[in-house]
Chain A
């Protein structure tokens, strides 16, 4: 029969409309279905009403990556970064710029004096976090960075980049725990190995992957 195909299609669309309406009804017409209350998992949920961003937000999976952040210690407030330069060299668009600190006598010190990430160029690949041997740079979950110009606010300096380690442990609980376990193990090994010097630079051996 001519027109049967069209009618079948229309039937499917109609069913879809009804299903969506029913789904909305079930969840009370969309009052806080998403974060901050955090009731739903990510993923499309049927319904007529979409996510009411920015009041509602989808939950992010732990692995989600946006711009990198630098980690500083909760207790001492010191940077974990040793200015080893690996992240700056592995970065595909080469958007990390690091000035290594110098001691008074001009010798390099394992600490970054300045640390810039040109986020207008950063491609959010995550290599810096992946290859940093000291867990000092991590991919962040914050994603609201829109600005009116790009020449100034697009460049994140050290102050803007740095977050406490506890913040990272909160956004990435599993990864942080796993990395801590690896660090602790290494620490224990070092203690057993009886290498006395406390002032020693963190070992250059890369963290287990």
Chain B
């Protein structure tokens, strides 16, 4: 690249950045190009349905806006309409979120698909279609993704009731004061709870796209050629290296991948519907079960999202430090686990795995001491944490942070990083280019390994992360090996943060918000959250975990949506795997570090 000299004769119009916070300015900018396309309502950019694709393209391509990162798509069921909500970011200026909304009719909700602009919209739009029934015009593959085709209705609609439906909202009245125990299974016995869509016959049903499981390429055959060498195989759902019940449909030419489609939903439990029945506080232990390897971090993301809706809540200093300490310990534990898994996928069997687990055990001990559970911690509350850690927490935490973990990371790295077999298997395998990483909306170490220095702790600092000195490791190639290196480097950075936090944490017993405000205190379970909507996110070990919450001022969320890092990352699996071999698919999936509890929700 050459530097351009600017002569000062007639200055070309400089691009002045439009701050994304200033939604009115953004709307004005959009209306310049597409008159009447955009308006502003409650801090969101409302875009006319017909114009949403060109507007998204303008937002992305206009250098003064540069909204290049579509993080999340979701929808809200209002009595008179559906809102499709897009949360977008600018990764270079690290701004956002810009919340774009497109309204859809209640009777026949159709909005244009954003896949031509942001390919990462593919899976997220399918999820919205599946759970909310909003159709996306121009979507290349609009099929259900978490549920099966024989599912009746769209469960996130407010008028949909589950088979074991009891009451609209928790707490249920049947429990007290006359709580005659009834098991849910007795209320709706098995086999009576299945309702099929009208005209659906399961015996005649073939899942779409699965009818061509044949040795002969059906398209080629139609054209009169016989090419008998592409083969469709299913990898999973019970496959030892898919890290859970996750299936990939591979189309192979010989040993090479021509196409890969992820098939998920085997662990789907409609977390979001449960979350909308629950009271605000009740969701905290449910978030533990999303990414069950890093429950503390999930709690953190949910807590900060809800606290954004609670303007009066003030988290005490000590609680902020405790939260950061727990979240960073979680990151180390998660990365040890993830890298152990990755190496065992590569064939190193269990040695690195167990070395990683050994260190993780120590960290889980810390969690158990303070929260009472090793994995399902349920430790954070709105406005603080549940308990102050006991006295024996600190010596062990100090020992781990200042001595043991550093050596463990070194040893782990030395054990395998220069191993010639690992190098030849991991380098230049599963390459995700920088542009693709952004376009597919990947998050976390996957995004950073592709060379995008984007970390929510820096881009949108929450809690007290702006106080710590740490750097964001980025990769250069974007291959499996870079994802390995980025995670190792992130563990070291987490240790850095931990050292500072453990040194600086203020004493005292104030670990929860002022009891007068009762958000986490004795009556916190009845918490009413002021009306509003928020997209709050935190940098989880696996990437940005976002909560899109809408409150109608009541004790239960009106809309509770989760942007799950594992889910968006598998959207890029196809581009990473094309041209690779089947054995590489195993390690590429491993390098994404997916957890099915979060992917399927």
Which residues of A are in contact with B by a Cβ distance under 8 Å?
2-6, 8-9, 12-13, 16, 42-44, 61-65, 83, 85-86, 88-92, 94, 96-100, 108, 114, 116, 118, 123-127, 130-131, 133, 139, 151, 155, 174, 206-209
B266-311: which have CB < 8 Å to A? 278, 281-286
- In the complex, the chain B residue whose C-beta lies closest to that of A114 is B179
Which B residues lie within 8 Å of A88 (CB)? 171, 175-176, 179
- In the complex, the chain A residue whose C-beta lies closest to that of B416 is A9
Count: A-B pairs, CB below 8 Å:
145
- In the complex, the chain B residue whose C-beta lies closest to that of A117 is B181
Q: Known contacts being A5-B420, A12-B415, A13-B351, is A98 close to B183, with CB within 8 Å? A: no
Chain A proximity mask over B347-377: 1 for CB below 8 Å, otherwise 0: 0000100010010011001001111110010
Q: Known contacts being A90-B171, A127-B525, is A6 close to B421, with CB within 8 Å? A: yes
B532 within 8 A of A: no
- A5:B419 contact, CB within 8 angstroms: yes
Stretch at the interface among B22-30, B78-86, B255-263, B515-523: B515-523
- In the complex, the chain B residue whose C-beta lies closest to that of A155 is B181
- A64:B419 contact, CB within 8 angstroms: no
Report Cα–Cα, A83/B372, bound state, in Å: 26
Report Cα–Cα, A9/B361, bound state, in Å: 22
- In the complex, the chain B residue whose C-beta lies closest to that of A4 is B418
- A125:B378 contact, CB within 8 angstroms: yes
Report Cα–Cα, A129/B164, bound state, in Å: 27
Q: Known contacts being A13-B351, A139-B372, is A62 close to B522, with CB within 8 Å? A: no
Q: Known contacts being A42-B368, A44-B358, A131-B522, is A6 close to B177, with CB within 8 Å? A: no
Report Cα–Cα, A93/B362, bound state, in Å: 30
Known: A63-B390, A125-B285. 9 other contacts (CB 8 A): A61-B372, A62-B390, A63-B369, A64-B372, A86-B525, A97-B175, A99-B178, A126-B372, A209-B512
- B177:A133 contact, CB within 8 angstroms: no
- A6:B419 contact, CB within 8 angstroms: yes
Which B residues lie within 8 Å of A3 (CB)? 420
Which A residues lie within 8 Å of B181 (CB)? 97, 116, 118, 155
Q: Known contacts being A44-B361, A88-B176, A131-B525, is A94 close to B183, with CB within 8 Å? A: no
- A12:B175 contact, CB within 8 angstroms: no
- A206:B523 contact, CB within 8 angstroms: yes
- A123:B372 contact, CB within 8 angstroms: no
- In the complex, the chain B residue whose C-beta lies closest to that of A1 is B420
Which B residues lie within 8 Å of A139 (CB)? 372
Report Cα–Cα, A8/B417, bound state, in Å: 10
Which A residues lie within 8 Å of B282 (CB)? 90, 92, 127
- B368:A85 contact, CB within 8 angstroms: no
B423 within 8 A of A: yes
- B522:A2 contact, CB within 8 angstroms: no
- A98:B368 contact, CB within 8 angstroms: no
Pick the contact of B183: A64, A100, A151 (CB < 8 A).
Answer: A151
B12 CB, nearest partner CB in chain A, Å: 53
Report Cα–Cα, A16/B355, bound state, in Å: 10
B180 within 8 A of A: yes
A45 CB, nearest partner CB in chain B, Å: 10
- B285:A123 contact, CB within 8 angstroms: yes
Pick the contact of A85: B176, B420, B515 (CB < 8 A).
Answer: B176
Interface residues on B, range: 35 or more
- In the complex, the chain B residue whose C-beta lies closest to that of A2 is B420
Which A residues lie within 8 Å of B178 (CB)? 99-100
Report Cα–Cα, A126/B172, bound state, in Å: 19
Which A residues lie within 8 Å of B515 (CB)? 208-209
8 pairs from A and B in contact (CB 8 Å cutoff):
A9-B414, A64-B373, A83-B177, A88-B175, A94-B171, A118-B183, A127-B281, A206-B521
B5 CB, nearest partner CB in chain A, Å: 49
B556 CB, nearest partner CB in chain A, Å: 12
Report Cα–Cα, A124/B362, bound state, in Å: 22
Which A residues lie within 8 Å of B355 (CB)? 16
Which B residues lie within 8 Å of A174 (CB)? 390
A192 CB, nearest partner CB in chain B, Å: 22
Report Cα–Cα, A116/B176, bound state, in Å: 11
Report Cα–Cα, A108/B524, bound state, in Å: 26
Pick the contact of A126: B368, B378, B420 (CB < 8 A).
Answer: B378
Q: Known contacts being A123-B376, A206-B522, is A12 close to B414, with CB within 8 Å? A: yes
Which A residues lie within 8 Å of B283 (CB)? 92
Report Cα–Cα, A165/B222, bound state, in Å: 78
B387 within 8 A of A: yes
B312 CB, nearest partner CB in chain A, Å: 18
Report Cα–Cα, A116/B414, bound state, in Å: 54
Q: Known contacts being A12-B414, A44-B362, A127-B525, is A98 close to B171, with CB within 8 Å? A: no
Which A residues lie within 8 Å of B523 (CB)? 206
- A207:B390 contact, CB within 8 angstroms: no
Report Cα–Cα, A5/B414, bound state, in Å: 8
B534 within 8 A of A: no
- In the complex, the chain B residue whose C-beta lies closest to that of A129 is B372
Report Cα–Cα, A111/B372, bound state, in Å: 29
Report Cα–Cα, A114/B181, bound state, in Å: 10
Pick the contact of B281: A61, A90, A97, A108 (CB < 8 A).
Answer: A90
A111 CB, nearest partner CB in chain B, Å: 11
Pick the contact of B177: A16, A100, A155 (CB < 8 A).
Answer: A100
Which B residues lie within 8 Å of A127 (CB)? 281-282, 285, 525
Pick the contact of A89: B171, B358, B371, B522 (CB < 8 A).
Answer: B171
Report Cα–Cα, A174/B422, bound state, in Å: 50
Report Cα–Cα, A85/B176, bound state, in Å: 6
Pick the contact of A124: B177, B373, B416 (CB < 8 A).
Answer: B373
Which B residues lie within 8 Å of A89 (CB)? 170-171, 175-176, 525
B425 within 8 A of A: no
Q: Known contacts being A63-B368, A64-B368, A124-B373, is A100 close to B176, with CB within 8 Å? A: yes
- A92:B278 contact, CB within 8 angstroms: yes
- B179:A116 contact, CB within 8 angstroms: yes
A127 CB, nearest partner CB in chain B, Å: 7
